[in-house]
Chains A and B, each alone.
Chain A
Amino acid sequence: MTVAQPNTVAPVKKSRAANAKLKERIEDFAYPLIAIAVLLLLWQLFSSLPGATLPSPVRVVQETWVLIFWPFYDRGGTDKGLALQVFESLKRVAAGYTLAAIVGIGVGILVGLNKGMSKALDPIFQILRTVPPLAWVPIALAALQQNQPAALFVIFITSIWPILINTAVGVRQIPSDYNNVAKVLNLPKSEYFFKILFPAALPYIFTGLRISIGLAWLAIIAAEIVMTGVVGIGFFIWNAYQNGQTSEIILALVYIGLVGWLLDKLMAHIQTLILPTSQRQ
């Protein structure tokens, strides 16, 4: 199987492979940067046309440089730097999302194990799943009366469905090999749950969690926009719109996009840390 190779060939091959890899890395960085530059240029061109309503990128930077360079300033009330605003929003996401993960995985496992329950509840899940975050806001406010719990509820209710549905599917799709091992060994229920069912369903659960973190971030912006007087990136946008500060809205959008992207990357990273290779998708 392992044939001894002449020593002279290996290093040349290696350095060539290293070079190719380096080139690829540079391309990985350079290409997106070029695309961004082209996009900014186009934006600059279009916004300098007569009748343009939105500010050019240069003007955005000019008008928001205080916000860009002092993300942590705090002048009390809702007048805070963007990093602090984002942090407040993230705290809400963390609370609502954690709750959604706990309930979603728990109910998902029950539904996945119980055929009758799955049949009964699946249509309800499928319908509720499609209700957009913004549509939940009025009912959340009406039911809970207060901004903070309403915001948490909106995050919870938008992000729970992918977790729940994926967990249920994951439990239903446990490979028969694993179940046969459990049967032959006569594993007790608790042992089966922790050693087989949960780890076997974990890839599906992670898929759900990853979709949901994006939805939760989506939901918080929607929720905060409607809720006056809370510190958070959503309300910051709404406030800027009320005051006609379009440049600040654009900067906030960049922040929202970056944070959403980072959250997704974070989940993907956790996924690769936890799952064994054969279970990764």
Chain B
Amino acid sequence: MSKFVAVENVEKTFPLANGGSYVALKGIDLEIRKGEFISLIGHSGCGKSTLLNMVAGLDLPTDGVVLLEDEEVLKPGPDRMVVFQNYSLLPWMSVRQNIELAVNNVLAHLSVEERKDIVEQNIQMVGLGHAADKPPDQLSGGMKQRVAIARAFATKPKLMLLDEPFGALDALTRGNLQEKLMEICEENHVTTIMVTHDVDEAILLSDRIVMLTNGPESKIGQILEVDIPRPRKRMEVIEHPNYYSYRSELIYFLNQQKQIKKTASQKDDRRSASWSRKSEPRNWVCAVNGLRSVGDRQREGLFCPPRVR
């Protein structure tokens, strides 16, 4: 039984405001072995975060199943920890309390001392001993993401899900954290799925890179095996003879997708222009416009809570 996670013929459709629907993902098949590091790469709006959320159980597929150790994923659970791009730390708790919240709930069967040890170990693991009692507001972005990573690893999940974990960080911090993450993953033998935009990040960290085509109806376009021995070091990876062929393969794919997107949108423009001449609106145009609101996480942040006074 080599498959640890299986995504079988998964489809995800979002309802649109106008009553129509938008097919974000269609016919996704993917098998992941235990201990593997998988990256999902693709342009914004291609549904890679949606796919990750379905593995996490935060979102359910419209069709098809996600299996973890042959059991269907129906709801989120601590065996599949998620590290979000925006860290999702609770600002009213200190670094330690944030990690404790996770450890105390997920590892409730352990004794108080054991749990305490695990919390401290994980704080030390990401090198935040000096900041353990600070609230997240007083930390830099990189430090916050380290806390989020520590929180996720502390609960000893079977599967780690990283949603563009380093997307909001500067290049230096990102590089350091990537190496740290690799170290931690190798030590803990955790199976990991990471969503990323970054080609170099994907090659450095992954065993396989899954490339998604553009939406609507995104599917897996290609899977790239990264055959570089571990443990890897940033500088050594760059000098590996296969590095540039991997890199150009990925970039070629992404460029190709970009071209398709461009021609598709040009076609749309022509079509919608001809439709508007006939003043005959079609759902299809709205579906394409809806792409922006449905894809990725752009949905969030649109909405400003009204304050009642």
Contact = CB atoms under 8 A, between A and B. Distances in A.
Contact of A276 (B92, B106, B307): B92
A173 interface: yes
B309 to A, nearest CB: 6
B300 A176 contact: yes
Contacts of B96: none
A267 to B, nearest CB: 14
B56 A177 contact: no
Top 4 closest pairs, chain A to chain B, by CB: A177-B88, A199-B92, A173-B305, A183-B76
Given A180-B84, A199-B92, A276-B92, A169 B305 contact: yes
Contacts of A134: none
Q: A-side binding surface: helix, strand, loop or mixed?
A: helix
B78, B81, B91: which has the most chain A beta carbons within 10 Å? B91
B307 A186 contact: no
Interface stretch (A94-102, A146-154, A188-196, A219-227): A188-196
Given A178-B88, A180-B88, A276-B91, A186 B305 contact: no
Nearest to A211: B309
Q: B-side binding surface: helix, strand, loop or mixed?
A: loop
Contacts of B102: 185
A3 to B, nearest CB: 14
B298 to A, nearest CB: 13
A166 interface: yes
A188 B105 CA distance: 8
A187 interface: yes
A21 B58 CA distance: 50
Interface string A176-215: 1110110111111001000110010010100110010000
Interface string B267-309: 0000000000000000000000000000000001000011111
B101 interface: yes
Interface in B217-259: none
Contacts of A1: 172
15 contacts: A166-B308, A178-B88, A180-B58, A180-B76, A184-B76, A185-B101, A185-B105, A185-B106, A187-B101, A187-B105, A196-B90, A202-B92, A276-B91, A276-B137, A278-B91
B77 interface: yes
A252 interface: no
B107 to A, nearest CB: 11
Given A173-B305, A185-B105, 4 more contacts: A166-B308, A177-B86, A180-B58, A185-B101
B12 interface: no
B48 interface: no
Nearest to A208: B308
A1 B90 CA distance: 27
Interface residues of B, number: 31
B35 interface: no
Chain A: interface size category: 20 to 34
B135 interface: yes
A187 B105 CA distance: 7
A279 interface: yes
A165, A176, A185: which has the most chain B beta carbons within 10 Å? A185
A211 B307 CA distance: 12
Nearest to A1: B172
Contact of B76 (A166, A186, A275): A186
A176 B297 CA distance: 11
A181 B90 contact: yes
A276 B77 contact: no
Given A184-B58, A207-B307, A278 B137 contact: yes
B149 to A, nearest CB: 14
A184 B101 contact: no
A191 B100 CA distance: 12
Given A176-B300, A277-B137, A184 B78 contact: yes
Contacts of A191: 101, 105
